[in-house]
Chain A
Amino acid sequence: MEQLFTFGIVGLSTAAIYAIIGSGLVLTYTTTGVFNFAHGAAGMMAAFAYWQLTEGWGLPVPLALILVLVVLAPAFGLLVERLVLRPIQGLGDAERLVMTVAMLSGLIAAARWIWDPNEARSLPRFFENTDAIDIGPATVTWHQALTMIVAVAVAIGLRILLYGTRIGAEMRASVDDRALVGLTGANPVRSNQVAWILGTQLAAVGGILIAPAVSLDASQLSLLIVSAYTAAIFGRLRSLPLTFLGAVVVGCLESYLTGYLPQNDYLPGLRLAAPALLLFLSLLVFPHRRLRGRDTKARPVPSPSLQGTLLFAGAVVLFGLVLASLLGEGDLITYGQIFSFGVIALSYVPLAGYAGQISLCQLSMAGIGAAVWAHAGADGQLWALPLAVVIAGAAGALIALPALRLSGVYLALGTTAFAVILDRWIFTLPSFEVLGLNISLFDGGTVDVAGPSLFGWRLDDGSELMVFAAVWLALASLAIAVLRRGRFGRQLIALRDSEAAYATLGGNLLLSKVAVFALSAGIAGLGGALYGMQQRSVTAEQFGLVAGLPLFLVAVVGGLTAVGNGLFTGVAVGGSFPVISAAGAFAQNITSVLPALAGLGLARNPDGAVPEIRSGYEPLGRNKPVLGGLVVALAGLWVLQLQDVLDGWLTFGLALFLIVAAQAAATALEQARAARSTDTDVPVEWWGVRREWRREDEEVLARGIAGG
């Protein structure tokens, strides 16, 4: 009985923290319409800043609290509102979501950069030396009591602010109709600022209160937010009382699981994954008023030509061959990721790009693929590769069933929960048996991964595996292009544009979603298997939620609807990051922040970088002499490097220079030709056919239409 009380008190104290953090989340969402994935990361930064001020620099606790809660947290909130969220105010839910995911990834990377993760840090509890209070059979520490008092104060304060003041009405009105708020003479920007300041302060309070109970780790602290997400979903992202109730359920569940869960090899992970499981269940159980999201700005999906994609696929294989011939064994392992990451990133294209389903667990699917290949393909049996694809695809189909009820933010949360359940529990399990079938994933540590055997030819050399992965990336890119041009591709785009219209036209939502989730997870599983082969051994951590965020962000920056996105993301994450990291520890830190910075830049180019790069290089594609010259020059460099005349870095630098210079030359030549042309007599209907389409043509036509 005493134990029951004790765990109850611990649970309520934890619940109070989740309630504080969750209410901040609800506040920003109800006021600004932005679900802040980085809310926990803001709390994490506040906890680190508080540690730095008190433990690092020895400032008194009250002064440190004032500095963090009254100066740093509001300043951070204002900065986020001004620099990150105001530019994307007019964009859709997906873009806003990506921005906060970018912030989450960026803040974790920044904290690891500033505070060395290898150094252990801890924070003392408040009133640590004061005697605990006895309540019946249980005792309550002053830290726990303080936590609960703060939570109650927050609840009352927020209630009064939102429902008893004019600024509260203004904040709630901003979500309904920002334009109308302006028309009433109120200031929607001010209400957003207040929301972000208060939201960040609440995250900071939560971060500082919870930090003494856990180790001060950037990723762990940021992901404590999953429990607060669950609490917020209990409140359907709008009700503060229900959010508090949700926090009590989550806090007590965690506490009692710690106390009463049997100790064996299989269940400790369940306690860690419990909030995520609960989040997943609550997403399914509670009805959502904004279930269908508000994203009405679906962007056009380009339809790649078969000829162009074939050329692209050929170029991918050629690129793999050239790289494989130039790199040493160590570099082959490092840069071999280019193609396997490329395949994993390509899995976002049908799912997020075509069907508009945002998933944050694609790397987890890759982990399943890697684990299946590691065990089933231990001797290189080629049949294990389709098996890896099928099993990852089946896991994807499993997510699709709940996904039928979810979209936008809710789907992103659901897939996050799924990734956390795999991370913290399933991937950490030792071998187990289900219905007589022995299942092994990562065996609680590292698993060795073998290369495949192609009809007796064993691929275990780094260069062979790189070419093998390049061929698969080429094939996967081709398959996605064919899919886009076919019936299923059109169905997915229709589903993205309007689920209701798709269903009323006779489309089967369940079937289409299951199919695209399974397809996408299968592609990710293939990428995971290829990644494992290249790395020779894999651990569960390589496929965690946080590890997958940079890949997702770079894929979004590339443009989720572009078939070339696989190569773009692969080269960016698997190629350019190691290249930059080679310059030292500082550069390594830069690369960890880069995806987040790139994601934050999304507001400038929501269509992605790949379409822009493609249109930038079109003049080079049209100019056969310059293109031919470039190919010959690159081939020359390749030969010189093979002969050891040039060193690797010089070849890389020269190749990069040649490619950029050829593009610039081709563009300049084309512009000069266009300027010289005297084709004023070409009739308007032939513009863009008998002569090049010019930027100013659009305006001329617009004027003509408006005037006519």
Chain B
Amino acid sequence: MTPLLELRDVRAAYGKITVLHGVSVSVSAGQVVALLGPNGAGKTTSLNVAAGTHPVQSGQLILGGRDMTGANPRDLARAGICLIPEGRGVFPNLSVRDNLLMMTFTGHSRAEIEAVAFERFPILAKRANQPAGSMSGGEQQMLALARGLATDPAVLLLDELSMGLAPLVVGRLYEQVAEIARQGVGVLVVEQFAAAVLGIADHAAVMVRGRVEREGAPDSELRAELSALYLGSST
């Protein structure tokens, strides 16, 4: 299967400190790829590179077969990348309706977006005129996810969807993510709460110190390696 999104041998740095040392990850249509690893491994930076919010030192960013290395976030968004950043990707002082209006810059009509979002998350329709910041964490993540549903992106990038949410809410949100993938969207998920995402992932990559150390199907061997990585191991 031809990948929709590819990071090829990407190096990236914060100032003089290099944090990604040749990372290669790819996501195909309808596939959920989990990017896992401990704090400081470079997972969020990899997502930011894919969304164009962090510059690439060397390597390539390929989207739909086109080299988009160095493109700005706006162009990447219009080309089909949708990043839901860590800590609720919503505008807290805008109403739910205005948040949805902000999704129309990718070329979809307001009516189209509201129809999809309100059908998938009926609670958002009830909160339509409420400032997004006054909703619960789970509801805010639903609003953020509505972007992934309504704007019909090619690739959805999710950063720590579970942050600060109850496990039950996290489970429901990941069900929606799986549903989005089933519609043909490629999903790249960064998550520390590995158990939640491995349930829906088709492929997993484990990052350590800015490198992908291990990748493959999320089988029991990979889960065991992950446990060792998080909890320490004598082996």
Q: Which residues of A contact B (CB under 8 A)?
A: 166, 169-170, 172-173, 175-177, 179-187, 698-699, 702-703, 705-706
Contact = CB atoms under 8 A, between A and B. Distances in A.
A502 to B, nearest CB: 26
Interface class of chain A by DSSP: helix
A182 B147 CA distance: 14
Interface residues of B, number: 30
A453 B93 CA distance: 62
Nearest to B79: A185
Interface of B: 15-19, 51, 53, 72-74, 77-78, 82-83, 85, 89-94, 98, 101-106, 147, 210
B94 A183 contact: no
Contacts of A698: 16
Given A172-B94, A173-B94, A183 B89 contact: yes
B17 A184 contact: no
B85 A186 contact: no
Nearest to A181: B102
A176 B53 CA distance: 17
B93 A176 contact: yes
Nearest to B73: A182
Contacts of A185: 74, 77-78, 105-106
Given A703-B18, A706-B17, A184 B77 contact: yes
A706 B72 contact: no
27 contacts: A166-B104, A169-B94, A169-B101, A169-B102, A172-B91, A172-B93, A172-B98, A173-B91, A173-B94, A179-B85, A180-B89, A180-B90, A181-B102, A182-B74, A182-B77, A183-B73, A183-B82, A183-B89, A186-B105, A187-B74, A698-B16, A702-B15, A703-B16, A705-B17, A706-B17, A706-B18, A706-B19
A184 B147 contact: yes
The 9 closest A-B pairs by CB, nearest first: A185-B105, A185-B77, A176-B91, A182-B73, A702-B16, A186-B105, A173-B91, A185-B106, A169-B98
A175 B78 CA distance: 21
B83 A183 contact: yes
Contacts of A180: 85, 89-91
Nearest to A172: B94
B74 A176 contact: no
Given A703-B18, A706-B19, A186 B74 contact: yes
Contacts of B51: 183
Contacts of B105: 166, 170, 184-186
A170 B72 CA distance: 18
B16 A184 contact: no
Give the most central of A179, A181, A184, A705: most B CB within 10 Å: A184
A699 B91 contact: no
Contacts of A703: 16, 18
Contacts of B92: 176
Contacts, number: 71
A706 to B, nearest CB: 5
Nearest to A700: B16
A699 B83 CA distance: 32
A512 B214 CA distance: 55
Nearest to B98: A169
Contacts of A181: 102
Contacts of A699: 16
Given A172-B94, A176-B92, A176-B94, A166 B101 contact: yes
Contacts of A173: 91, 94, 98, 102
* Residue with the highest number of chain A CB atoms closer than 10 Å, among B74, B77, B89: B74
A589 B147 CA distance: 55
B93 A184 contact: no
Contacts of B89: 180, 183
A187 B210 CA distance: 31
Tell which of A180, A183, A706 has the most Cβ of chain B within 10 Å. A183
A185 B73 CA distance: 7
A173 B92 CA distance: 9
B7 to A, nearest CB: 18
B151 to A, nearest CB: 8
Contact of B53 (A166, A175, A179, A187): A179
A142 to B, nearest CB: 39
B189 to A, nearest CB: 16
Contacts of A166: 101, 104-105
Contacts of B101: 166, 169
A177 B91 contact: yes
A186 B102 contact: yes
A516 B143 CA distance: 46
A702 B102 contact: no
A177 B51 CA distance: 16
Given A169-B94, A706-B18, 4 more contacts: A169-B101, A173-B94, A182-B77, A706-B210
Contacts of B18: 703, 706
A171 to B, nearest CB: 11
A698 B15 CA distance: 11
A698 B51 CA distance: 30
A249 B74 CA distance: 44
Contacts of A179: 53, 73, 85
Interface-central residue, B78, B83, B91, by most chain A CB under 10 Å: B91
Nearest to B144: A180
A175 B133 CA distance: 14
A183 B85 contact: yes
B100 to A, nearest CB: 9
Contact of B17 (A170, A182, A702): A702
Contacts of B16: 698-699, 702-703
A705 B53 CA distance: 25
B145 to A, nearest CB: 14
B205 to A, nearest CB: 20
Contacts of B83: 183
Contacts of B73: 179, 182-183
B21 to A, nearest CB: 8
Nearest to B107: A185
A698 B16 CA distance: 8
A169 B94 CA distance: 8
A176 B77 CA distance: 19
**Which of A169, A170, A179 has the most C-beta atoms of chain B within 10 angstroms of its own C-beta?**
A169
Contact of B103 (A175, A177, A184): A184
Nearest to B133: A176
A175 B77 CA distance: 20
A186 B82 CA distance: 13
A183 B83 CA distance: 7
